[in-house]
Chains A and B, each alone.
Chain A
Amino acid sequence: MADLESFREETRRWLVANAPASMHTPPQSPDDICWGGRKMRYPDDVKRWLDVMAERGWTAPTWPREYGGGGLSKAEAKVLAEEMAKLRLRPPLVGFGLSMIGPLLLQEGSEELKRAHLPPIVRGEIRWCQGYSEPGAGSDLAGLQTRAVRDGDVFVLNGQKVWTSFADKADWMFILVRTDFEAPKHSGITFLLMDMETPGVTVRPIKLISGSSPFCETFLADVRVPVRNVVGRMNGGWLLAKALLGHERTMIADAFKERDDAKRLVALARRYLGEESGRVADARLRDRIAQLEMDQACLDLTLARARDGAKAGHKPGPESSIFKLYGTELNQRRRELMVETLGPQALGWEGPGFAEEELKVTRDWLRSRGNSIEGGTSEVQLNIIAKRVLGLPD
């Protein structure tokens, strides 16, 4: 315990001495968040913050030192997180490398893969994307058709991935491919690592109904990937993919927890609909706001309960499906309520007569429609709850 306290002291001193002043504020926009990678240029202070933290391995505090990580115990990592929170410091690096493929490689990767890929993740040099969905394999992900045919020391990949987040900005992709064409669909899938620079890889951003392009299509034409880039067993990729999906759902729920200040909706309602003796004038809207905020409070409490349970050593339940399902639908309801609060002022796409904030409310509403589709549709989440939690028959 005394050791932990001196670690805390040391850590705080080091953070104060080494964190650029501008990193003591929350990111102002998604562009302020550092995802690393070769293709993006980040402001100097963001880069410097990444470099000093990466040098200590503190971008991946609990990973072993031999792979560039911080080698901290769980307790030490918690202290580091607490001290960073106290100083209101931004994470120096985020992304699929740190949160998804890195932890998977630590568990399942060969020594060679770990040495090759973990240190560049820690240093933020390589940004990763996830190649799962295909045009014909969305909710039924295991139906994926991208073919990988062995040719000596390489696989030759042909097919198409879709909904790959930020594929245009990523350097490497972890990808699910079909390697056994006779086996039942779940048992013929292999988990591969692929350099996006490999000849035959083409990326095209997808424009969404909201006007933004956070996702891409990735086309694969005779792409040659070394056999040594297989993670886990040949044809054993489905289990790895499923484990990562559960992880992704928790991440999505957590992302939606970072919601707008609850007061924002009330402030909008006062502004657009007026007040009567201090209350939002429209009783119907008032009720919908209260319903939404109370539902949100119950979800937050349930997330807290899951965390407290984990802390007390309880086995994690299948809550991640609840959180994904309910969190995304809450976000959609919030966006709809905002649009309806703005009334005709929510009809702008761009140009005169509409404030920036109003345009954003409209675009955010459109973007939110995807929340109940991406990362496993709400219908798939309901199936998972019915089957795995309630034990209802197929």
Chain B
Amino acid sequence: MDLVLSEEQELLQHTAREFVAGRSSLKRIRTLRDTADPDGFSRELWREMARLGWTGIILPEEHGGLGLGYRDLMVVMEELGRGLMPEPMLSTVLLGANAILLGGTDAQRREHLPAVAAGERFLALAWQEPGSRYDPHHVETRAERAGGGWRLRGEKIQVLDAAAADRLVVSARTAGGARDADGITLFVIRPDVPGLALERQMRVDSRGAALLHLADARVETDTVLGQVGGGGPLLARVLDRATVGLTAEMLGSMSAAFAMTIDYLRTRIQFDVPIGSFQALKHRAARMFVELELARSAVMHAHRVLDEGRDDTAVARAASLAKARCSDAFLLIGNEGVQMHGGIGMTDEHDIGFFLKRARAAQLTCGDAAWHRDRMARLDGY
């Protein structure tokens, strides 16, 4: 497959760009933050996105989706990123629905996926724990058999969009030591089961997140996703896909932040000239452009690798390549964006700061650049 968009994808891109420009200003993002919106996003916009088919792009037609590919999702994610849209594509589709699609029984898929595609069900994946950093196999939350079901005890952190979720996909250890890849089991559970409590977390990027307290939460046997003890590899596959999707969002966000900064360089006058005429700024702007172009190639490649149905190792390599690049590039553009805007860039009133905050949050989600470089070295045998 070539590294170019198809005509259909260009059309989808156009639609998505218009949608984001017309329906989601940065002012809306600011209001969601300032009003401490309990969901952290707009359910109405989500329903519109579902009507456009975006919530089901990567879901099979038999489960109500469009049965399209990751490159189609990519163009939408990029546009959502341009507008810093917090609507829960990452949590509900890329993490939650993917876990069920890749690991669930046919009954579980039928129960959840059509509802996700229709925009009527929100999902969240609870995989991070205190101290687990980026290792999805570091799971200390325990699940023990109890009566006809399971009893869960432990603590999950930064569960994205948990407050709105209709179901939580939770990783818990059913065997083995705290960092073993084996012995992890995923459960799909309702947020209202006794012993489960959510506590809202406030993050630097204002996205919805929560602590999940599991104090002997009782769940039924049929909540197990896939095989008991087989959740480790499943989690890794889900996270790689979500990581790839996240890089497309990051690409859109950094493109927007870069465009905003270039615009400022062209129009801001100091010493009687536009500041963009200063070589000290020009060269740094050109460096950012190079980083942006390289990031775009890595992101397109990662989505292509998924669409080509390549094996898990190839996907992991492509995901690491894209995530390492985007983490560094987005942060560079965020930092330089604030610096080049000068004093106004430091004010809460200006939008550029929102991009810097999102750059940091995205960098530290699903592994930062150094973590992905180390993983790449391992995958390449050194």
Q: Which residues of A contact B (CB under 8 A)?
A: 266, 269-270, 278-280, 286-287, 289-291, 293-295, 297-299, 301-302, 304-305, 308-309, 311-312, 314, 319, 322, 325-326, 379, 381-383, 385-387, 389-394
Contact = CB atoms under 8 A, between A and B. Distances in A.
A379 B373 contact: no
Nearest to B279: A383
Contact of B373 (A290, A301, A383): A290
B294 A326 contact: yes
Contact of A385 (B265, B289, B301, B377): B289
B373 A386 contact: no
Contacts of B296: 302, 305
B328 to A, nearest CB: 9
Contact of B321 (A286, A298, A314, A326): A298
B382 interface: yes
11 contacts: A290-B376, A290-B380, A295-B294, A301-B294, A308-B4, A311-B4, A326-B294, A383-B286, A386-B285, A391-B262, A392-B262
A304 B324 contact: no
Contacts of A322: 289-290, 293
B283 interface: yes
A299 B265 CA distance: 27
A309 B297 CA distance: 12
A326 B290 contact: yes
A287 B377 CA distance: 8
B297 A301 contact: yes
A290 B377 contact: yes
B297 A302 contact: yes
A286 B377 contact: yes
Contacts of B266: 391-393
A287 to B, nearest CB: 6
Contacts of A290: 373-374, 376-377, 380
B294 A389 contact: no
A287 B374 CA distance: 7
Interface string B342-382: 00000000000000000000000000001001101110111
A379 B283 contact: yes
Contacts of A387: 282
Interface string B260-276: 00100110000001101
A381 B287 CA distance: 10
B294 A299 contact: yes
B159 to A, nearest CB: 30
Contacts of A379: 283
A393 B276 contact: yes
B3 A305 contact: yes
A325 B382 contact: no
A289 B300 contact: no
Nearest to A322: B290
B321 A297 contact: yes
